[in-house]
Amino acid sequence: MTDARDDRAAGYGVCFVCTGNICRSPMAEAVLRARLVEEGLADRVRVASAGTGGWHADEPADPRATAALRAAGYDVAPEDHVARRFEPAWFARYDLVVALDRGHARALRRLAPTPAAAARVRLLRADGLDVPDPYYGDDGDFAECLNIIEDAVPGLLDAIRQEATA
C-alpha cells in the first residue's frame, strides 16, 4: 500500500479487514475499487485492506483470490497487494472500517482507542452474516466468497456515497 492511500487528507477512507489480509479483504478491496471507478468516485474514496493478525504480513494475496478476481473480470495481479495487520492508530486514517465477519468486528472494536473509533466498524454484509473464509477451501469457495462480496458491495457503496459526497 502506498502512503497516499493512508493519507487522511486524500479523501474518505475505507479499510476492509479479515483474518490474514490475503483472501477476503483484498477481494473486497478490489471489488470496491472497481465500483468506485464505475461510479466516478475513485478520486474521492481511498480503499485499503488489512488483517486482524500478522501471520501473512508482507505476503501477496492468496493466488486463489487473485485467480477468482481475474476470472470475474477484475484487473489484479498478486504483486498489487501486500498483506498487513490493522493497527489501532489506523482508526484515525479511515472513516469506515469494514469487517468481513463478526469475529473481526469484535476484534476491531476491542482494538479501537475510543468509542467513536469503535463506531466506525461495520460488517460488510447488511444482513449481519459473515463472509465465509475460503482459505481452507478450493477454487469454488473463492468464487463463492467473491460472489458474496459483490452482492454486499452495493449497500456499502450507498453508505459511502452518502458520506463521501456530503
Which residue among the candidates 6, 80, 133, 141 is catalytic per the annotation?
133
Domains of the chain: 10-164 (3.40.50.2300)
Task: Record the cell numbers describing residue 155, joined without a space.
Answer: 449497500
**Whole-prediction pTM:** 0.93
Query: What's phi and psi for 93, nearest 5 deg?
Result: -85, -30
Pairing type for strands 45-51 and 121-123 reads unpaired
Q: Judging by beta carbons within 10 Å of its beta carbon (0-12, 13-18, 19+), is residue 154 exposed, middle or buried?
A: exposed
**32: enclosing H helix or E strand:** helix 24-39
Is 24 known to be catalytic? yes
Which one of 18, 35, 120, 145 is the catalytic residue? Answer: 18
Active site residue 145: no
Question: Mean pLDDT, consecutive 10-residue segments, the chain of 166 residues?
Answer: 44 96 97 96 96 84 96 89 96 97 98 97 97 97 98 96 80
Residue 133 falls in the annotated catalytic set: yes
Q: Which of 23, 24, 46, 62 is flagged as catalytic?
A: 24
pLDDT at residue 79, rounded to an integer? 79
pLDDT given at position 1: 31
